[in-house]
A = this chain, B = another copy of it.
Amino acid sequence: MNKGTHIMFDYDNLMESEYINTKMFTENIIKLLDKTIEQSNLNEIDRSINIFDDDNNKTPPGFAIVVVLDESHISFHSYTKLGILAIDIFTCGECSKDNTRKAGDIIMNILEKTYPSINLKQKYEIKRFIY
């Protein structure tokens, strides 16, 4: 038995010709997140959206988006110049496994339809608090 599931996706081969620019890409990922939360019946508590502009000299261009759920979270970190996108989905409430997988499936389906060149390099599923 376990309490909570942590799923991670490593996507690469993101093409600038598909996502256009960091700002547009961020807006599309926010729409994807809204849809995922609604369809997976997750309870959003807070979100933090941070865009690193293409002309920002301090940080490589990309974004960091974290949605805090009811005692869990979904995060998206993108490094657009490298064409990579790191996602993690952690749920540790009663909903757990099914909702985590459902959210993961929705994210994968939308991402892969919207950005056909994107490639799922690695996927991990970690069971947390195994008893």
Contacts and interface: CB of A to CB of B under 8 A. Distances in A.
Given A12-B129, A84-B129, A88-B88, A62 B66 contact: no
A71 B22 CA distance: 13
Contacts of A4: 86
A97 interface: no
Given A8-B6, A71-B77, A129-B84, A46 B48 contact: yes
A130 interface: yes
This chain: how many copies in the complex? Answer: 2
Contacts of A68: 48, 50, 64, 66
A97 to B, nearest CB: 15
Interface residues of A, number: 40
Contacts of A59: 70-71
A126 B8 CA distance: 10
A72 interface: yes
A64 B60 contact: no
Interface of A: 3-4, 6, 8, 10, 12, 45-48, 50, 52, 59-60, 62, 64, 66, 68-73, 75, 77, 79, 82, 84, 86, 88, 90, 92-93, 121-122, 124, 126, 128-130
